[in-house]
A = this chain, B = another copy of it.
Amino acid sequence: MRCSVVLLAVLIVAGVIAFSTSVSGHADENASPIYEVTIPAGYRDWKLISVTHEEGDFNQLRAQLGNDIAINVYREGRLPFPDGSIIVAMHWKRIPSDDDNKVFGKVQAFVAGSPVNLQVMVKDSQKYSATGGWGFGDFTDGKPADEAKHKTCFPCHEPAKGRDFVYTRYAP
């Protein structure tokens, strides 16, 4: 009887270790370097902040979505963003809309094509105190970019310090 109890305890401990390793291994793989930011579940249902057209080398259309905490900041006009705010920027290839252009009789309408990448900003003023309180994640096909890429996030957002490091303004 004592032997069975010991065996059961060993099995439970082994199971917990195996489970933890699996969970942490999974999280690391999908989290951004430096910041450990992951793609937030359900973000595609979030409310729209605004849209962007990047010309030149990018040639992209973009949309920025926010969770409710972030959206409330925009609507109430009170910076800084509190902890828990998350902003997701969807970047798509900008492609001509053949259907629209046929109606217009010329090429003038462009729409969102295939996804290029997804960028995520997460506010946690303690965890990310060295980078304005924001953690960053850049994902392509669900996988985070490398550390070198993530080292460029904060320097690029730093000039927007007066708006809590966020460029996007709310589209009325």
A residues sitting closer than 8 Å to B (CB atoms) are 44-45, 47-48, 50-58, 61-63, 65, 90, 92, 94, 97, 99-100, 102-103, 106-112, 114-115, 156, 159-160, 163, 167-169, 171-172
Chain B residues within 8 Å of A167, by CB: 97, 99-100
- Decide: A54 near B108, CB < 8 A? Known: A63-B171, A167-B97: yes
- Decide: A99 near B53, CB < 8 A? Known: A44-B47, A90-B171: no
Partner of A52, one of B62, B97, B114: B97
A109 and B51 within 8 A (CB): no
Give how many copies assemble into the complex: 2
A51 and B54 within 8 A (CB): no
Partner of A156, one of B62, B103, B107: B103
B51 and A102 within 8 A (CB): no
Q: Give the nearest-CB partner of A162 in chain B.
A: B99
| Distance from A1 Cβ to chain B, minimum over Cβ atoms (Å) | 55
A55 and B108 within 8 A (CB): yes
Query: Bound complex: CA of A44 vs CA of B48, how far in Å?
Result: 8
Partner of A110, one of B53, B100, B106: B53
